[in-house]
């Protein structure tokens, strides 16, 4: 009678193939995780490879109530013409000036000074972005 009592019912405490199900779930998780990793890598590569032109405003100086001067540095492929958009804002964050600058120099690094005409006293000079001249905006 003790032999019958020591043996547990097979279906009462889980299936016999539970280990196989766990392996399948782990494999499925690994495959989905790998696919997610590949997708994130592909998206990052696509973003970085198409963003060939970069720039920054190194310094700026408020010249008068109607003018802000910006020192602009742009990195681009040699021989490419770039168009960079700069803006100036008033203390209340309203835009008081905007200028598109075309950089047709053949160098890969362009260092230039830009005058932004403003409708009121500007307190900033900000680079909104640069792109190839032949790319529609």
Per-residue CA distances from 129 to 3, 36, 86 (Å): 80, 30, 8
Helix, strand, or coil (residue 7): coil
Q: What pLDDT score was predicted for residue 87?
A: 96
Q: What pLDDT score was predicted for residue 49?
A: 67
Distance CA 9, CA 11 (A): 6
Q: What pLDDT score was predicted for residue 90?
A: 94
Average pLDDT, consecutive stretches of 10 residues, N- to C-terminus, the chain (137 residues) = 60 64 88 94 77 88 95 91 94 95 90 95 94 77
Whole-model pTM?
0.62
């Amino acid at each position: 009678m003790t032999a019958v009592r020591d043996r547990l019912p097979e279906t009462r405490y889980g299936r016999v193939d539970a280990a196989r199900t766990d392996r399948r779930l782990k494999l499925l998780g690994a495959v989905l995780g790998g696919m997610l990793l590949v997708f994130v890598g592909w998206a990052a590569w696509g973003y970085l490879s198409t963003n060939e032109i970069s720039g920054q405003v190194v310094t700026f100086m408020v010249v008068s109530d109607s003018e802000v001067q910006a020192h602009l540095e742009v990195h681009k492929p040699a021989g490419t013409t770039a168009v960079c958009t700069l803006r100036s804002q008033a203390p209340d964050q309203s835009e008081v000036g905007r200028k598109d600058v075309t950089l047709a120099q053949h160098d890969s690094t362009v260092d230039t000074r830009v005058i932004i005409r403003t409708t009121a006293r500007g307190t900033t000079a900000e680079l909104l972005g640069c792109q190839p001249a032949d790319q529609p905006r």
